[in-house]
Amino acid sequence: MFNLESFDIKLNTDFIGRNFIYSEEIDSTNSFLLNKENKFSTDGTVLLAEKQTKGRGRQDRVWYSAKGQNLTFSILLTSKKIYAKKFNLINFAASLSVALAIENLFQLKTELKWPNDVLINGKKIAGILLESTSKGSKIERLVIGIGVNVNQSVFQGVYNIPPTSLKSELNENIDREKLLAEFLNTFEEMLEKIKTNPDEILRDWKARCRLIGEKILIESGEKSRYGIFDDLDEDGFLLLNVRGKIEKIHFGDVSVA
Ligand code: BTN
């Protein structure tokens, strides 16, 4: 069981996670925080669930996570200062913060896969699902959903990238409270950096992205595109070199071609 006290002592943030909701079981932490009908609208609210009955991943996939072993949580941002243009940077800030938290606490080498997967030794350790609701052109609620495989050692189901967990990599049980606090502390700093130094986020993210310069395949729904992963633009979109012509890719799954 998640120990709220031990988590709270390690949390160093001003607003992220200061309103913390703990749930034994929920359909999806993202769905819950996205829903305007719920009574939570405080900027920085974090909802952690021990079990999700309808955990969702990107591209309509299911997110499987064994009860009480991992971290499945969402962060709600409601500040007026959220702009749709910043979505990719928030995505990068989240995946980079997961990578940094893992590197700092466990000295494991991580790799980032566009748009926001975190890998260790080519296997997926964490995934992120960013969703929002808007009114007219204004974003009302932005929800960053994160699933980190922490203490699960057996994975059943169908995966597009083979999964791993911190326990599988390190052969020991991991303190989830410490990892969540470290992540949230880093993520709050990173959100500030989106305003003050977004280039540094892009630079640090790219430094962990092995596929830049490689021949890749991008798949989104029925469509697929081959090319060379040229770079990211300043908004975090993928620039794909298709026979000498640069195309901007907004979403999709990347794999080595
Ligand atoms: C992906 O890699 O496809 C994204 C996975 C995101 C999973 C998390 S778990 C917490 C939050 N609630 C959900 O239903 N999904 C996200």
What pLDDT is recorded for position 37? 86
Query: Is the CB–ligand 1 distance for residue 29 below 6 Å?
Result: yes
Tell me whether the CATH fold assigned to 4-207 matches the one assigned to 215-256.
no
Question: Closest by alpha carbon to 164, among 113, 122, 203, 210?
Answer: 122
Mutate to test the pocket of ligand 1, among 65, 91, 146, 159 (most ligand atoms within 8 A of CB): 146
Q: What is the distance of C-alpha 101 from the center of its chain?
A: 12
Q: CB of 74 closer than 6 A to ligand 1?
A: yes
- Compute the average pLDDT of residues 15-42: 95
DSSP state of 85: G
Q: Cβ(252) to ligand 1 under 6 A?
A: no
Question: Which CATH code fits 215-256?
Answer: 2.30.30.100
Architecture of domain 4-207 in CATH? 2-Layer Sandwich (3.30)
| pLDDT > 80? residue 73 | yes
Ligand 1 neighbour 57 (Cβ under 6 A): yes
pTM attached to this predicted model: 0.95
**Residue 128: CB within 6 Å of ligand 1?**
yes
Q: Return the sign of the alpha-carbon dihedral for residues 164, 168, 173, 179.
A: negative
Compute the distance from residue 62 Cα to the ligand 1 centre, in Å: 8
Does the C-beta of 52 come closer than 6 Å to ligand 1? yes
Q: Where are the domains of the chain?
A: 4-207, 215-256
Closest ligand 1 atom to residue 27 Cα is: 14
Report whether pLDDT(85) > 70: no
Span 210-235, pLDDT tens digits? 899 999 999 988 789 999 999 999 88
Question: 204, exposed or middle or buried, with CB in 10 Å at 0-12, 13-18, 19+?
Answer: middle
Asked if residue 70 has its Cβ within 6 Å of ligand 1, the reply is no
User: How far is Cα 138 from Cα 133, in angstroms, rounded to an integer?
Assistant: 9
Tokens standing for residue 143? 């929800």
